[in-house]
Amino acid sequence: MNKNKELTFIDFFAGVGGFRLGFERAGLRCIGFCENDKFALKSYKAMFDTKGEWHKDDINTIKSEEIPYADIWCGGTPCQDVSIAGMRKGLSGDRSGLFFKFIELLKGKDEKDKPTFIVLENVKGLLSSHRGFDFTEYLHQISQAGYDAIWQVLNSKDFGVPQNRERVFLIGHLRSRGRREILPIQGENSATLKKVIGGCQGERVYDPNGLSCTLTGCGGGGGGKTGLYFIDQSTTKTKITNNSRCITSRYTAGIVNRSASNSAVLEARAVLTPERINKRQNGRRMKETGEPMFTLTSGDRHGVAIKEATKKGFAEAHVGDSINLSFPNSKTRRGRVGKEIAQTLDTSCEQGTLTENLRIRRLTPRECFRLQGFPDSLFDKARKVNSDAQLYKQAGNAVTVNVAYEIAETIKNSAYK
């Protein structure tokens, strides 16, 4: 392929443009898109310059001859019917079954007009749907359209965003144009400093898997917040995690019974003197486990940031409540909240009080978009045209931008070999 040729792509099942943003960052050019959700479409058009591009709202109404030539067709095909969180109707379901329409459009193209690559994303549950028969059919249909397929499960947390999100990415090569090596793709796993959220020194947030930012001696007030800590938003086996749980379109459901389903944020706002929270104060305000405690004075007050929430759920915890955390390996003991008296101390002493300087809240729509790799500048455009409820749904359905970028880079490099 000519190295001077600009690779083009069409964004099917576009959502809010996770594939698009990742591919454009890699230097590819979008020439068209298709998205049926009217709210996602409003965000998409607000976030990207789509003037003059080919566009259709409903894939069911498209004819193959209407689609302009592009080097790549990409899409996050609907996953609800193959997800373990759904009814698991499989590819025969109304939504996941749209994959067959995508294949029909490919088959309807003359060989010279077919894209060289197709890139599809879906939930990991596709591999096990109907004991694997659905994925077998998936591969068979792609082969019938003239493509050799390779696939890999990629986790967003390995690509620069702190979200545990496993997705199957499948790349099809048009058989008549030869096969190129693209997968496997290796994510980063180094201890370098990774900024997740920008801003001034006191507001920046870094990936907890990397190095911490330098703490200054005069970082009072907002400077006390050196990071946010993810915590399971469930009533069972609640724990703090280094990475957010997978962002889903049902995030607005709130606290759930399933463990490791949703993430909330534990905000630590520790200061030397709580009464002077709006005043600049010198010195570090957070100590790590095992470090010596601050010097006790007659004026300063100190506390402990608890590590986990309790069996009954953090939504019931209030300032001054006694919280027992000593049951991680027990099948019979349960944490108690709001009893107004501490439980008996044992040798582990995993007990503490939720003070006014700690609070647990759900992720904001902006944070969900950040966890998918979208910059705040694009989120602000989407927020102007959609409600928070729709933004949560759109973030949960999106393709992680960072992963899309890595795939586009490997396709681009292989195409020029």
Catalytic site residues?
79
Element (H, E) at 362: strand 358-362
The answer to whether 55 touches 100, Cβ cutoff 8 Å, is: no
The answer to whether 373 touches 21, Cβ cutoff 8 Å, is: yes
Strands (E), 222-290: 229-232, 240-241, 263-268
**Reduced to 3 states, what is the DSSP secondary structure of residue 103?**
helix
The closest of 415, 361, 290 to 3, measured between CA atoms, is 415
Pairing of strands 240-241, 263-268: unpaired
Strands (E), 207-337: 229-232, 240-241, 263-268, 322-324
Q: What is the DSSP string of 116-176?
A: SEEEEEEEGGGGTGGGGHHHHHHHHHHHHTTEEEEEEEEEGGGGTSSB--EEEEEEEEEGG
Pairing of strands 8-12, 29-34: parallel
What is the DSSP code (8-state) at residue 344?
A: P
Both tokens of 285, joined, read 């305000």
Both tokens of 352, joined, read 């503490």
Radius of gyration of the chain (CA): 25
